[in-house]
Structure 1
Amino acid sequence: MTGNPFDGIREFVSAAQSLSFTAAALELGVTSSAVGKSVTRLEARLGVKLLHRTTRRLNLTSEGEAYLASCLRVMDELAETQGFLTTGQQEPVGRLRIDLPAAFGRRHILPTLIDMAVRYQQLDLSISFSERLVDIVNEGIDLVVRIGSLKDDAEIVARRLGSQSLLICATREYLHRHGTPQAPADLLQHDCIVGWRNGTRKSWMLVDEKGQTNEHDVRVKHEMGDGEMLLDMTLAGGGLAQLPTWLVQTPIQQGLLVPVLEQYAGAEMPIHVIWPRTRYIQPKIRMVVDELLALARRDAGIFRPDQGVPNPQGS
């Protein structure tokens, strides 16, 4: 490879973000032909096509999208380091893409992230909500909060925030019509409302007489995409649901829901914050992780932090 390995990157990033050589030229103070030539030389050096050119606009190729994401990530890290060297204080800089579980994320994680975005004006957030298992490495997600057991994965790092305890409940009207289950086997005779999971076994976690947590099959009546939907269907009398205590505590206190199979309740699901494993953790990721760990310690009633529990993917 000859020449400066960084030649053309600034021009490519500007053109890729605006999808226009003309707009990139105005931003950089050069001619559009100079921008186009710089990007063409960069493509030749890399041996891949980054941009599709048409008479009307530019479009990123799949290789161009991946390269743009890498360039932006490196530029963010350089900006963070420069800010630290200039001010002597580390401050999160650049865009951070975060994916959260819908109900729990909106209620208990999002307020902290909004507070951080207000405090740190150079931090840009892209927040999404989903319950699926995302591929954080290939999907370009910087940080994920997930509830449930994790699989061993050498490409990620996980820190445990705590756990959530589960209860099975229904409305009095539903129990009056269908009866109250007395044993786990009765769940196969009831209308059960479960979280939607593509291709996964429909089961609930129950605690046996020895205190061991086991999966029990249920008869599925309704599948819902997130916890709030599960709660709404349960409150409407749609059936039994297994829900976290933080979500059903108030409806139970108000008499809107009734816990059942309480002798088998108490199963717990871990809550983790997860990010891609790299040799160098970006300051913005580390600062968000630290904020979430502090939140879990402050709000022990929700997160139920447990000490001394190993993290499957290290720390």
Structure 2
Amino acid sequence: MRRLSIATPCSPNSNLDLGTLRIFVAIVETGSFVSGGKALGLTRSAAGKAMARLEAHLGTRLLHRTTRMVSMTVDGERFFQRCVQILQDLEEAEADIRQDLPQPKGTLRISVTEAYGRIVVLPFLKSFLETWSELDVEVNLSDRVVDLVEEGFDLSIRIGDIPADSQLIARTVEHAQPYLYASASYLKRFGEPAEPSDLTNHQRLVYGLGVHSTGWNLVTSSGSEVCIDGGRKLRFDSGEAIRESALHGMGVAYLPSFLVDDDVESGRLVRLLPNYGGKRLPIQMVYASRNRLAQKVRLFIDGLVKHRREN
């Protein structure tokens, strides 16, 4: 493992130094004072004394110590996340200046909807990690909208507009358009709708739980709109679950085309009411507003946009 310097103050107004932060992070990541100290070329005693000074300076306990293991306190967990970010930002700043450190390092944490992650992001990650081999990536596949700052994500990929009053920055990767789909087995049992109003006689597979609207806003090629909100409803919080339910003949789905293109091509699903579709939805990479965008985030954003333009 690369040896790290254990000097240099964090700021003119702080008695902390980067070496102390590195010792704390190394102890947490390795799970012991012995291993953490060894990773930085220190004895267990030196690592322990550095931690004692750090806790005394902060006025709080960061680590629980037993004879068998070391674990973080609640304050320790909060401080650890900030320390990791500080050290990663420092390495990226250094890499921006030094010609002999071109590779971004650290961990890139991404949250992406389950469907878009499976179909688009995971295949892209293969080439991304081959190019930037010193990066680690954590991917959260969930349709839940995460809090980027509170949950420590570098960026998320969301389908649809973000609120106008949001403090987040968004960059559009591409657009998706939803249409209506059902399986051949479902249509054989219940018939194919000829008009949007016929959907009130079908079971609709609806995205969103609780107080979310169950309406589907359809637009014709001429631009006129019609809202469908009726019929039996089976509700989900996952686009993938809706797709699977449609494939099993459980109802009519309203999904972005990228999620079901392969199913339509293979005949597993049939597109309904071809003259009607939903409004085009932006697929956006969203990240917290910062004066300087981290190199690892910038590389991922630029790379995914380029990947989608070429494929």
The alignment's TM-score, normalised by the length of structure 2, stands at 0.85
Determine whether 1:91 maps to 2:103. Answer: yes
Aligned residue type for 1:236 = H
Q: Give runs of aligned pairs for residues 202-217 of structure 1, distance below 5 A.
A: 202-207=214-219, 211=223, 216-217=228-229
Structure 2 residue aligned with 1:273: 285
Report the CA distance between 1:98 and its aligned residue: 0.9
1:52 aligned partner: 64
Equivalent of residue 240 in structure 1, options 242, 247, 252:
252
Partners of 1:154 and 1:277 within 8 A in 2:
no
Which residue is equivalent to 2:180?
168
Shift of 1:241: 0.5
- TM-superposition CA deviations, 1:78-97 (whole Å, max 9, x none): 22233343326743221101
Q: Deviations over 1:262-287 (max 9, x none)?
A: 33314222100011111111111111
- The counterpart of 1:108, out of the listed 110, 120, 132, is 120
Change (3 A) 1:270 1:286: same
Tell me how far apart the structure 2 counterparts of residues 175 and 256 of structure 1 sit (CA, whole Å).
Answer: 12
1:40 aligns with 2:52: yes
Separation of aligned partners in 1, 2:293 and 2:205? 40
Q: Distance in 2 between matches of 1:250 and 1:24?
A: 49
One of 245, 263, 273 as aligned partner of 2:275: 263
Residue identity in the other structure for 1:206: L
Unaligned runs of 5+ in 1: 300-315
Q: Report what 1:146 is aligned to.
A: 158
Secondary structure of the corresponding residue to residue 92 of structure 1: coil
1:138 shift after superposition? 0.4
Offset, 1:71: 1.4
1:247 aligned counterpart, secondary structure: helix
By how many angstroms is 1:188 displaced?
A: 3.3
Contact 1:7 1:42 in 2 (8 A): no
- The share of aligned pairs that are identical, in percent, is 33
Taking a change above 3 Å as real, the CA distance of residues 153 and 141 of structure 1, as seen in their structure-2 partners, is farther
CA contact (8 A) 1:161 1:293 kept: yes
Partner SS for 2:130:
helix
Alignment partner of 1:156 out of 165, 168, 185: 168
Residues 88-128 of structure 1, C-alpha deviations (whole Å, 9 max, x = no match): 67432211011121122111122222211111121111112
Q: 1:88, 1:31 → 2: CA distance?
A: 30
Deviations 1:27-68 (A, max 9, x none): 233332332221122122223332122332221122212221
Residue 10 of structure 2: aligned partner = none
The count of aligned residue pairs is 299
Aligned counterpart, 1:311: none
Whichever residue aligns with residue 303 of structure 2, its letter is E
Deviates more, 1:89-98 or 1:134-143: 89-98
Separation in 1 of the partners of 2:111 and 2:66? 34
Q: Is the partner of 2:149 in helix, strand or coil?
A: coil
Cα distance change, pair 72–32 in 1 and its aligned pair in 2 (3 A): same
Say whether the 8 Å CA contact 2:95–2:104 is kept in structure 1.
no
Alignment of 1:6-25 (within 5 A): 6=18, 8-25=20-37
Q: Is the 8 A contact 1:84 1:91 kept in 2?
A: no
**What code does the residue aligned with 2:99 have?**
T
Q: Which residue matches 2:300?
A: 288
Tell me the secondary structure at the aligned position of residue 212 of structure 2.
coil
Which residue number corresponds to residue 124 of structure 1? 136
Contact residue 235 and residue 256 of structure 1 kept, 8 A:
yes
Mapped to 1, the partners of 2:297 and 2:181 lie a distance apart of 38
Select the structure with the greater relative contact order (CA < 8 A; seq sep ≥ 6).
Answer: 1
* Change beyond 3 A, Cα 1:100–1:3: closer
Report the secondary structure of 1:138's partner residue.
helix
Q: In 2, distance between residues paired with 1:89 and 1:218?
A: 59
DSSP 3-state at the match of 2:253? strand
| Contact preservation (8 Å) 2:182, 2:246 | yes
Deviation at 1:76, TM superposition (A): 1.6
TM-score, normalised by the number of residues in structure 1: 0.84
